[in-house]
A and B are shown apart, each in its own frame.
Chain A
Amino acid sequence: EADIYQTPRYLVIGTGKKITLECSQTMGHDKMYWYQQDPGMELHLIHYSYGVNSTEKGDLSSESTVSRIRTEHFPLTLESARPSHTSQYLCASSLVAGSQETQYFGPGTRLLVL
């Protein structure tokens, strides 16, 4: 079991609210990621970070923002939630050994915006 944690696991919130999804890892990994996944669908990379003070946008355009002030912490924020943001959000970190990279995923946050 990987040491990567996400809170909350489930969140039901009204339109227009600001939310922050938390992700933390205790493995000392430099690289971290956020993916969005709808039920039965593929993973879409929305944000990633190479390390502290590094944030990049992924393949899928997202209205969310991220920050990386500490190595172990990579929160994702939605300033104004909308029903179209309803999805599962998965955080991951990766161990890079030479040119090889293996990702370790958290349990996910299932978000429902009403």
Chain B
Amino acid sequence: SQKIEQNSEALNIQEGKTATLTCNYTNYSPAYLQWYRQDPGRGPVFLLLIRENEKEKRKERLKVTFDTTLKQSLFHITASQPADSATYLCALLGSARQLTFGSGTQLTVLP
């Protein structure tokens, strides 16, 4: 069956460091992968999309890598700030042609 796995443990890092979040998937052949941010009590907000033929994508302090051989995407936030604290979700298009979201990784950036 199709499965998306993100870091199950919450991630705490010190302000200024780089946060790295992982998204692994099985039984998907995604043409692209997306990352969203979700704050408590709010809906997710789209951050970045990376296509299968792109190894890396950057947007300001965000960097996403996509390795279709490893079936993994890494999401990096450089020079992290307390305002980056949130839950980060990866999402893939599933076999039913619907976007499926991972369970998310909760990131806390400590001042």
Residues of A at under 8 Å CB distance from B? Answer: 2, 40-43, 45, 48, 58-59, 88, 90-92, 94, 99-108, 110
- Residue pair A42, B98 in contact (C-beta under 8 Å): no
Chain B residues near A88 (CB, 8 Å)? 41
B6 to chain A, nearest CB (A): 9
Closest 6 CB pairs of A and B: A105-B43, A42-B103, A43-B101, A90-B43, A102-B46, A105-B44
Contact digits for B70-98, partner A, Cβ 8 Å, 1 yes 0 no: 00000000000000000001010100101
CA distance A105 to B37 in the complex (A): 11
Closest to A10 in B: B41
With A48-B98, A100-B32, A103-B99 as known contacts, state yes or no: A43 contacts B44, CB within 8 Å: yes
The B interface is mostly helix, strand or loop, or mixed, namely strand
CA distance A104 to B47 in the complex (A): 11
- Residue pair B43, A108 in contact (C-beta under 8 Å): yes
Contact digits for B96-111, partner A, Cβ 8 Å, 1 yes 0 no: 1011111110100000
Interface residues on B, range: 20 to 34
Residues of B at under 8 Å CB distance from A? Answer: 31-32, 34, 36, 41-46, 49, 89, 91, 93, 96, 98-104, 106
Closest to A6 in B: B43
CA distance A42 to B4 in the complex (A): 11
- Residue pair A58, B98 in contact (C-beta under 8 Å): yes
12 cross-chain CB contacts under 8 A: A43-B89, A43-B101, A90-B44, A101-B93, A103-B36, A103-B46, A105-B42, A105-B43, A105-B44, A105-B45, A107-B43, A110-B41
- Residue pair A100, B44 in contact (C-beta under 8 Å): no
CA distance A40 to B106 in the complex (A): 9
Excluding A59-B98, A103-B36, A107-B42, 9 further A-B contacts by CB distance (< 8 Å) are: A2-B45, A40-B106, A41-B103, A48-B98, A88-B41, A91-B43, A100-B32, A103-B91, A105-B43
- Residue pair B43, A106 in contact (C-beta under 8 Å): yes
